[in-house]
Every structure is written in structure tokens, then in C-alpha cells.
Structure 1
Amino acid sequence: MKTPRLLLALGLLSAFLRLSAAPVDSRISAVTVYQDRAVVTRTATVQLSGGTAELIFAHLPQALNEQSLQVSGKGTAQASILDVSAKQTYVDYTPDARVKELEDQLKAFAKQMRGYDDRANLLNTQQAMLDRMEAALFALPTKDVPRPELNQFTTSLNFLIEQKSKLVTERATLDEQREELQNRANTVQAQLQELRGAGGKAFKTVTVRVAAAQAGSLEVALSYTVPGASWVPSYDARVASSERTVQLDYFGIVRQGTGEDWKDVALTLSTARPSLGGAAPVLSVWQLDLYNPIALREQAERSRRNDMMMAKAAAAPSVNMQTLTTNGVGNEADFELKDARYSSATIEAGATSASFKIAVSSSIPSDNSPQKVPVTSAALKAVPEYLTVPKRQTAAFLTSKVVNSSEFPLLAGAMNVFLDGTFVATSGLRTVMSGEKFDLALGVDDGIAIKHKRVQKFTEDTGLTNSGKRITYEYLITVQNNKKTMERVIVADQVPLSRNEKIVVKLLSPDAKDVKPTDEGTLKWTLDLKPGEKRELTVKFTVEYDNTVNVAGLE
């Protein structure tokens, strides 16, 4: 009976000896940034001697979402991934080196400020001593303390004046030093508050257990989701009026405070919004009943538990359980390095979103500072035209009708507009899909002269007994093209609308056959003006109403 027990003990000992655990040297190789989070991929190459091994990824961000862990790998060890686990470790120091540095600076500032406070207390003590000396010098003489001689009085008085002057100067210098130190401390404190969102005095450790059929190498990729990262689109639109084109430079403004610096990573910007969930919300039954606070609380609690269970199931961790027998390293895309101005991301369009793989490696520090990365640059055809509303402003605003002929969807974001190399406006771009039209507002162009004046306002009585009034309004709009090219100008004006049957508005000019007012009373002319051409437009209408009513809105 001893032999089987001995063999069992030797087998357990052999299995124990074959189980190895060691921290791995990993680096962040790829990051996908969403609007409110990021998926970080760490890679590490390890040598396995066969058997079961534990690969430990230490000092990961505290805010790491354990439900999002994903593991994959390739190598020659013919390894299988058994499981992945995460645990949180609390320490008595700050793991983030940048946060620790700022905390040390604040401690040094506090120590220096205490030194200034001690010096200020000493100056107050010296001031009190000088005040007592001054009081004694000017005190009335007594039997025990006679009046000092003149030279003694003069010497003491000069000493007091000199010492008090020194105190005033030193206090002023001390106040300046304290103010400067406080400003530096406030700056560091603001930076610290930005960075502390990544976590406190704790970090997470992820352990990946693998079983290797034989000795060999294995490249492991660990992916996890962290909050504290986001990106927004930004655009530079450069309009060449002579060429009638728009050079649209598309950028992503990336910020992150995840607690990890991203150095030379393959960066991807995704338009997906995982925070909204994968399916449309479900309508619950809308019930009316007598008010019962206890029943309402129980119902709300049941609904909350159901929502949490659905969210947990949707975010379950993913582990690649297949045997890994492929030789070589991971399948990262090879990125072609281009000039930053003209580099273009690779777009991967999904069923519900798009991902932009940035063409060059990127470095994003974990300090929430905005980092501008190029997405693409496209030359788009532009059809310029002018829009003017002389009644409101006697100016012609240049706009360009542009078609998004690129394959990239243009998400809503801020846009800087340059006209012939000159910055003219900051505006916003709405979301524009590929093939869709949009307008670029390019600001005022003085090459189109606009004038607007009221020619007449004539009031007369109407009716057999002068029971009504008629007011005739006439306006003249002048548009002149002072440019050397033919330009299209759209002119907008209006006539009032009556909301009461006792008020009648009649349009006299322009003829309704030529320009018909819209339901809102808007008049629009489309003018194609040759170089130097001038056009005059007349707006004339009457307003008739009964004397028994007071009309609001008349000019």
C-alpha cells in the first residue's frame, strides 16, 4: 500500500514543481479610444518550459474593469489559456509616479510655507519689542526713570526708525514670497486633481494561467477597459477661392487620465458608443394604481437588480480557451509612416460604427492634456455662393456647398476655417456621412457690396368713413459684385404675416410670379452677378387694418 501513496505524492510534487509564477515584462502596444473609455492592449513575450504557468501582469490601473478582461496569444509552446483573474492591492504609497511627484512637491511647498509662517511670527515679536521700546522712550519721566538726555533720545529714536524700516521691507519681501509659493502650490494642486481621477493608493494585478504542451515562446496579449479616456473630432477647413476646393484636415483630440502613459502605441479612434448598450430599451408596462410608497420602492429595487444582471451578463469577461499552435508574433497591422500633415488613418466600417486606425504610432500622457492626432486629409470640391440678409446686416456672407467625397464619416465637432490662407472663422460641423452635402460658413466678404434703405412709409385713411388705415412700405436693396469673377448671391428679405383677419397684408413688389413668399413670409432671390454688375431689388407692400384695433409689430 505504500507504493501507490508514494507514487501519488511524487505526482503531486511533480505537478507543483511544474507550476511556475512570474511577473511578465509587458508594454502597451495598442489602444482603442471611445467617447468615454478606452480598451488597452498589453503584450508580453514569455518563455515557457512546459507545464502550467502563471503570467502576472502587475501594477495595472485601479479603475480597470475586471469584466472586460480578454486574453489571447501566439507562440511555439503549443499553449492553452486556462483562466484569467484579477485582484486589487492596496499600498501605503501612490503607485502613479506622476501623482507621487506632485504630492511630494505639495509637501515641500507646505514645509516651505511653515518656514515663512515662522519668520512672520518672529517679525511680529520684533515689532512688539520695538513698540514697547518706543512707548518707553516717549513715556513721561518718573522718579525711578528720569528723562533721557538729548543725544541718548536721538540715538534711540534713530535706532527705532531704522529697525522698523527694516521690518517693513522684510515683511513686504516675505508677503511676495508667500504669494508666489501659494500660486505655485495652487497650480500643482490643480494638476494633481486632474491626475487623481485615475485612482488612489491601489493597483490591480491580473494573473493569466496557461498550460504549455512543450517548451517554447508565447506572445500574450491582455486587453482591458479603463474609464478616464475620450476623443472628440476637430477640423481645419482651408478654402482656396480661386481653385474652388476645400482642403479638410480631420483630427482627433484625445485626452486620457487612466493612470498609464501610452507611449508609441497603435492608436484607434472608434465612433461606437458602448455606454448606450447593444440593444434598444424595452418599454415596461405603464401602470396606474393607488399610491403605496412601500410597493413602489420594492418595484424600483426589482427593476434595478434586473438592470444590473443584464449589464453584468453583457460585459462578461472573454478568454480565448483554444490551443495556441501558431508560430511567430501577433497580427498587428504594419503602419506606413507619413508626414503628419498628410497622414491618413485606415477606416474599418462596421455595421453600426467606424474605427479609425491612426497611421503613425502615438504617445498620449496620462495627464488629461489634449493631444491632436491626424485622422485624414481630403480635398473636396466646393461651390461658393453668398448669402445676405440686408434687413439685419448689410453684408454678404460667403458659404461653400461641399460634398463629403471621402470614405470617412465626419462627426460633429469644432472647425477652424481658413480662406486663402487667412483665418476667418471658428464654427461647428454637424455629422456628415460619406457622400452627404454640407455648408461651410466662411465669413463676410467685402467684395460684394450690399445696401438697404427704406424708400417710403406712407399712411392713408381708407373706407367710406375713414374707418381704416393703410400703410405702404417700400424698401430698396442694392447688390453689387466688385469681384473679378461671376458670383452667385442669395438675397433674403421678408414681408409681415397677419395673424388676424382684421389685418390685411398685400405684396406689391416683387411680383409673386417671380418671387413667392414662403409660409413664414420670407422672400429669396438668387442672383448670378457678372464682375462689376449691380442689381436693385424692390420690396413693397401694404398693411391695412381697422381703426378699432391696435396693430403690434409695425415698424
Structure 2
Amino acid sequence: MTVQNTPSHDIHAVELSCSDGEMLAVNLYQSRAEVTRLFKLTVKKGQNNVDINGLPSVMDKDSLRVEGHGPAIIHDVNLKEKRETTKSSKPRNNPLLNELRTKKASIEKAESRCTKSRLTLDDYVAAAKPWNTKHDEFVSVMDYYEVTAAQLDEKLLDLERELKEIDRQIKELSSEEREGEKKQISFGFSTFGQTVRIEPTERTASIGVVAESDSDVELILIYAVHGATWRAAYDLRIDTTKKDKPVTLIYKAVVSQSTGESWDNISLTLDTGRPTWGFNLPSLKQWSLKPRPVQTAFFGSGSASPSAFGSTMPAAGSGLFGSAPTSASMSMIRGAPDDRDRERERDCDRQMEHTSSTIASQGSVSANFKIPGSVTVPSAEGERSFTIATLELDALMAWLSIPKVDNRVHLKASGLHLLRIVTEANASIYVDGSYIMKSDLPVISPKERFECSLGLDPSIRVTYHALSKKAATSGFYQKSTIYVYTQRVTIQNTKTSAIPFLKIIDQIPVPEHSEIKVKIVSPALKDPSADVLDNAPRASNKQGFHTSLSEVIAATAGLNVEVADGIIAVWDGADEPDADLRVLGKNGKMNWLCEVAAKEKLNLILQWEVSVPQNMDVIGL
């Protein structure tokens, strides 16, 4: 649409308030927000000047964008700022504060006089010579000193207490005054003895609109504001009695804003990206090699020269103090929403369920989550929580213990995540309906395995018995001593339900001398030799995730030893995804993997032999 021969006279003025526009949508980033407002107005044929007052003071002035619908064109957009600046020849006076300061000065002077009197009294007594003074006179002097010194000391203590109390009152009043000034002003400074205060900025968008005829039009304002944020939070709910999908992960967004605008009945989209400016690709300077210059030493000292192979620093930006230059690009600005974006989603009729967001888009860098329906987030009224997604996950519930160090049993869940956890956050852990603890969940990519600690389980008791040691001598010419060690571990499940996967981690010693030999006797775990590596099921071991002991047994076939029904032994790490089979057992660690029935007690026996030369003193035996 074009308009020709627009007259320069008879400009129609339209004045609106920011609150007159309907807030359609908010796109919330983790450190700021992008607000979209719709204004409906009537324009006259020809030139119109539309002023929209009351834009928020936390608005990013470079982010303003205006679009429109109707038989008119947007001629120009201007953002005007108005600051209320006041000057005073002297700082603001607080009568009570001034009175306290005057009283403090008076007490300080009284304290100084009292201190001088006390010192003078000490000098007077010191000048009195007992051998030059009559006995009665000397006793009278000492009595006078005792009474007067006590009075002065008491007065000094009273003055110090008063001074301390006045200092406390002055500090409180000064603090309250500073807080009050912070609320009333946004900026202040002192110049030439005058205090200058600048009130919060009032921003007005001035938009020139040229219309073909008298008509109704729509203006869409899109702008970014500071003072708005969201963070991720998780609820991790575990049902230990379920075999299928025992873990429910509730992904939540905690939203807060103090922009001065109330977000009422808006369409809210959460973005995991972080809008940035000025991050340009650094340049790589030439790396030159040249002979070191010969320098003559003076007075026997040489000056240090830079290394020929010193690292080169990347080129710094042209900003002040080495900061990167600010770019004029407005990476936060998004296109105005179309009609579909303005539609209000309504909650379904089902009750007692959490609504989940839809993933508006998910790229390799960030993702957008659209909160269903219309939401309200008032300004400066704390945090509000919204559910982004609820996921039911297959997971391996594992009970783990290292009884040699600590016989307590830890509960862990490890599983797959179908939707990317887009940001690191705290998770509230619930096990069988009871709140257990808070734990940190890291950033997790799709299909990536994650583990989460679920605290301690006191219903499983592990007893690490005293180590049994027996010694014998063997050999005829080269005698050696063979030590046989037996370590017994008792496990008792006091639950009324079975434990599907219990891992007990133990160890045997690792020799660091060629003449020291260590051999595991029971369970008969084999060293990961070439034959074992060739026969090990590498593919099944790299599936990356197991949900039961039977799957672990299948994945470690050729590497595990079946001790009893529901009990196997493996070298530590053999059941882990992408394990390096060549190093299994090199650190001496082994695992008992068990299924423990309800109220069942198990006994595990680890036995090994250590052979050392008879005359060798070995550390660690």
C-alpha cells in the first residue's frame, strides 16, 4: 500500500496509555522477556501522530518494534524519554538524625574531659611522695584518689554505653534513609556540592501513521524488558513397587517478574536461549618464529625476554576495558504473532491433573515451551510455577553400598530421558510418596542416561564382618608366604517387598611389585584376558541402559560368575555402558549384584590369596 501527496498540515494526534493495549503474549527468556501488546485505534486520513505513554522504565530502548494491520502505513517510530531531575543545595535533612549526631558530639566531648581528669588524678597521686608527706596527709590523699577515681571510672563507663547506643540508633536511621532513597530514586550523584537525583524514566513511543482514509487500525508493539526471569525445577517421583516406568519426572518452570507491568491473561512462552550481543568470533593472529635477539647484560643481570613459543591471546573487542563491542543487532526481537498465536488455549475438562506445555520448537541450541491456556503473573509478587512436561521413565532402581567404608545403603535411579532436560536445576525427590531430599540434575541430552541419588534406605542392613587371615609357607629353595583372606558380608532385607537390584562394591589388593602375586579364589572371576575379551558380548554391553538384573546378566555374559540363584559377581564397571573391558579388574574392585527377596538374608564370601617372598616386608598386608 502506498500513499502519495500526503499533506504536511493538519496532523491528527492520538494519545494512548500503555495499559490501553492488550498484552497478547510474553516470550520469557532466562534473564529478560519480550512483550507483545495490541492497540486498537481510529486514525484520520493523512498524517497521524500516535503517542503511547507509560512504557515500562525497565524496557530495553533498542528493542522497540512496531507492526500494524489496516489501510495505513507506519511512517516513523520514535522513543522519547523523560526524566524528572531535582537539585538541592544540600543533602536531605533528617531532624532526628541531626539531633542524635549533636548528642553524640556532646558525649564525645564529655568523654574526652573525663579521660583527661582521670589522667590528671593519676599524675597527682604519682607526685605525692610518702617519705616527704605526713602519714595523715598521705592517707587523706589516697582516700581522695580512691573515691574520685571510682567516680570518674563509673562516669566513663556510662558515657561509653550512651555513645554505643547512639551509634546504633544513627546506624539504623541511616540505613532506613538509604533504603527509602533507593525506593524513591533510580539514580543519584553529587556535583559541585549539590545532590542531583534522577527519577525513574518515563518512556513514550511516538509513531507516525499515514492513512488512506478514516479507518480503524491495529498497532502491535514488541519490546524487551529486564526484571523478568524463569528457572527450571523438577519433581522426581519414584515408586519402588512398580516394575514398569517406576520414575515420573515433572519438569516445571518457576517464573517471576518485577517489570512494573502485570501480565494478565497472557500467552506465555518460555525460551531456554540466552539473548546476547557483541559475541563475535575472535581473530587468530599469525604465529611467527624468529631467532631470539641477542641482548647484552648490564651489571651481571639479564633482562627476561618473551618465549618464542608463547601463547598468543585472541584479539579483544573494541569495547572499553577490553570488553567486546556492543552489536546493534536485536537478537531478542521476534516476529509479531499471527492470529493462531493469539488464540487462547483452554484447559480440558479433566480434573486433578497437571497441564503440560507444548514444545513450540526445539533446536540444537535452545527450545521453546508454550504454557497452555492463559496465565497471569503479577509484578513483584513472588514466584509462580508452571508444569512444562510430565514424563514416565523406564529406570533401573539400584541399591548400592560400599560396606568396607560405610555399611549404609544408598538408593539410586538411572534411566533414559526422552525429552531433553534443557537446563541444570534442583530436583525435589519423592520416594513412595515421601519427600526425601533435594538433588541436582545436570543438563541431559535426548536419549542420554542420567543417574540421580535418592538418599539412604535404612531397611536394608549390611554387615561387614572382620577380615579372616591365614598364613602358610611354601617352596623349597625360594620360600614364599601365602596369605589366604576371607571377607564375609551379610545382607538382610527387612522390607516386605523384594529388592530387585542390590550392588555391593568390594575390593582385593592390587600388587605393585612383580614378586607379589594376588589371586582371587571365590568368586572365580577371570582376568580380562584376550579370550575373555573376544568372547564378551560387546554389543549387548553397549546398549547403554538396563532395567533389571536379568538384563545385566545377559549384557555381562562371559564376564560374570553366577554365585547362586539371583547372585552374580563381576569386576567393577562390567555392567556399565561403554565399559573398557581391557581394564576390568585392574583396580581390584569387584561387585556383587543381587536380587534379595522380602525378609531374606544373604551371605556373600570373598576370598583371595596373596603370595610374597618370605623375607619381603610388604606394606598393606
Question: Please, what TM-score do these two structures have when normalized by structure 1?
Answer: 0.70
Match of 2:430 among 387, 404, 418: 418
Match of 2:268 in 1: 267
Match of 2:398 in 1: 385
Say if 2:503 is the partner of 1:483: no
Give the Cα–Cα distance (whole angstroms) in 2 for the partners of residues 428 and 195 of structure 1: 39
Give the Cα–Cα distance (whole angstroms) in 1 for the partners of residues 92 and 384 of structure 2: 30
Shift of the 195–289 alpha-carbon distance from structure 1 to 2, 3 Å rule, reads farther
Deviations 1:38-87 (A, max 9, x none): 2222333322123232333445456654554332233xx42223343445
Give the Cα–Cα distance (whole angstroms) in 1 for the partners of residues 457 and 314 of structure 2: 63
CA contact (8 A) 2:17 2:54 kept: no
Unaligned runs of 5+ in 1: 1-10, 95-105, 140-159
Give the Cα–Cα distance (whole angstroms) in 1 for the partners of residues 401 and 313 of structure 2: 61
Deviations 1:402-446 (A, max 9, x none): 5546x6746431111122343212111233456665444221112
Q: Partner amino acid for 1:120?
A: K
How much does 1:237 deviate?
Answer: 2.2
CA contact (8 A) 2:12 2:47 kept: yes
Match of 1:449 among 461, 485, 491: 461
How much does 1:234 deviate?
Answer: 0.9
Alignment map for 1:367-386 (pairs within 5 Å): 371-378=384-391, 380=393, 384-386=397-399
Cα-Cα RMSD:
5.2
Say if 2:226 is the partner of 1:216: no
Shift of the 168–354 alpha-carbon distance from structure 1 to 2, 3 Å rule, reads closer
How much does 1:233 deviate?
Answer: 0.8
How much does 1:458 deviate?
Answer: 4.1
Deviations 1:157-188 (A, max 9, x none): xxx99999998997676466446546656877
Shift of the 496–187 alpha-carbon distance from structure 1 to 2, 3 Å rule, reads farther
Match of 1:33 among 4, 22, 28: 28
Alignment map for 1:99-248 (pairs within 5 Å): 112-122=96-106, 174=166, 177-178=169-170, 180-181=172-173, 184=176, 202=201, 204-227=203-226, 229-242=228-241, 245-248=246-249
How much does 1:229 deviate?
Answer: 4.1
Give the Cα–Cα distance (whole angstroms) in 2 for the partners of residues 24 and 378 of structure 1: 44
CA contact (8 A) 1:64 1:225 kept: yes
CA contact (8 A) 2:490 2:602 kept: yes
CA contact (8 A) 2:285 2:314 kept: no
How much does 1:354 deviate?
Answer: 2.2
Q: Secondary structure of 1:35's partner?
A: coil
Q: Partner amino acid for 1:524?
A: N
Match of 2:355 among 326, 330, 343: 343
CA contact (8 A) 1:30 1:41 kept: yes
Higher RCO (Cα < 8 Å, 6 or more apart)? 1
Q: How many residues align?
A: 497
Match of 2:521 in 1: 508
Give the Cα–Cα distance (whole angstroms) in 2 for the partners of residues 426 and 551 of structure 1: 45
Higher helix share goes to which structure? 1
Q: Secondary structure of 1:493's partner?
A: strand
Match of 1:333 in 2: 343
Q: Secondary structure of 1:474's partner?
A: strand
Shift of the 120–31 alpha-carbon distance from structure 1 to 2, 3 Å rule, reads same
Q: Partner amino acid for 2:441?
A: L
Shift of the 421–317 alpha-carbon distance from structure 1 to 2, 3 Å rule, reads closer
Instruction: Report the more deviating stretch, 53-62 or 36-45.
Output: 53-62
Q: Secondary structure of 1:539's partner?
A: strand
Q: Secondary structure of 1:115's partner?
A: helix
Q: Partner amino acid for 1:334?
A: R
Shift of the 58–544 alpha-carbon distance from structure 1 to 2, 3 Å rule, reads farther
Give the Cα–Cα distance (whole angstroms) in 2 for the partners of residues 271 and 532 of structure 1: 48
Deviations 1:75-122 (A, max 9, x none): xx422233434455544169xxxxxxxxxxx968x6643332233345
How much does 1:460 deviate?
Answer: 5.5
How much does 1:454 deviate?
Answer: 3.2
Give the Cα–Cα distance (whole angstroms) in 2 for the partners of residues 410 and 394 of structure 1: 36
Q: Partner amino acid for 1:263?
A: W
Match of 2:376 in 1: 362
Shift of the 30–550 alpha-carbon distance from structure 1 to 2, 3 Å rule, reads farther
CA contact (8 A) 2:85 2:199 kept: no
Match of 1:22 among 15, 28, 32: 15
Q: Partner amino acid for 2:211?
A: A
Give the Cα–Cα distance (whole angstroms) in 1 for the partners of residues 185 and 234 of structure 2: 30
How much does 1:195 deviate?
Answer: 11
Shift of the 190–89 alpha-carbon distance from structure 1 to 2, 3 Å rule, reads closer
How much does 1:462 deviate?
Answer: 6.0
Q: Partner amino acid for 1:332?
A: R
Match of 2:51 in 1: 56
Match of 1:395 in 2: 408
How much does 1:304 deviate?
Answer: 8.1
Match of 2:71 among 78, 83, 103: 78
Q: Secondary structure of 1:30's partner?
A: strand
How much does 1:505 deviate?
Answer: 2.3
Shift of the 473–248 alpha-carbon distance from structure 1 to 2, 3 Å rule, reads same
Alignment map for 1:524-539 (pairs within 5 Å): 524-539=591-606
CA contact (8 A) 1:69 1:318 kept: no
Deviations 1:314-348 (A, max 9, x none): 7497888xxx9x9xx89523143588972322321
Give the Cα–Cα distance (whole angstroms) in 2 for the partners of residues 450 and 187 of structure 1: 58
Give the Cα–Cα distance (whole angstroms) in 1 for the partners of residues 491 and 56 of structure 2: 64
Give the Cα–Cα distance (whole angstroms) in 2 for the partners of residues 65 and 288 of structure 1: 45
Q: Partner amino acid for 2:379?
A: P
Shift of the 181–450 alpha-carbon distance from structure 1 to 2, 3 Å rule, reads farther
Give the Cα–Cα distance (whole angstroms) in 1 for the partners of residues 570 and 159 of structure 2: 84
Among the aligned pairs, what percent are the same residue?
21
Match of 2:38 in 1: 43
Shift of the 250–472 alpha-carbon distance from structure 1 to 2, 3 Å rule, reads same
Shift of the 312–80 alpha-carbon distance from structure 1 to 2, 3 Å rule, reads same
Give the Cα–Cα distance (whole angstroms) in 2 for the partners of residues 316 and 269 of structure 1: 13
Say if 2:251 is the partner of 1:250: yes
CA contact (8 A) 1:267 1:362 kept: no
Unaligned runs of 5+ in 2: 125-151, 189-197, 294-305, 526-559, 562-568, 572-583
Deviations 1:11-33 (A, max 9, x none): 88x43213536354345543222
How much does 1:270 deviate?
Answer: 0.9
Q: Secondary structure of 1:113's partner?
A: helix
Match of 1:148 in 2: none
Give the Cα–Cα distance (whole angstroms) in 2 for the partners of residues 133 and 67 of structure 1: 69
Q: Partner amino acid for 1:18?
A: I
Alignment map for 1:261-300 (pairs within 5 Å): 261-264=261-264, 265-275=266-276, 284=284, 287-289=287-289, 300=315
Q: Secondary structure of 2:429's partner?
A: strand
Q: Partner amino acid for 1:491?
A: I
Deviations 1:360-380 (A, max 9, x none): 42325359x655444344555
Give the Cα–Cα distance (whole angstroms) in 1 for the partners of residues 52 and 159 of structure 2: 60
CA contact (8 A) 1:66 1:317 kept: no
How much does 1:394 deviate?
Answer: 0.7
Q: Partner amino acid for 2:25?
A: A
How much does 1:268 deviate?
Answer: 2.0
Q: Partner amino acid for 2:458?
A: D
Give the Cα–Cα distance (whole angstroms) in 1 for the partners of residues 352 and 605 of structure 2: 53
CA contact (8 A) 1:70 1:319 kept: no
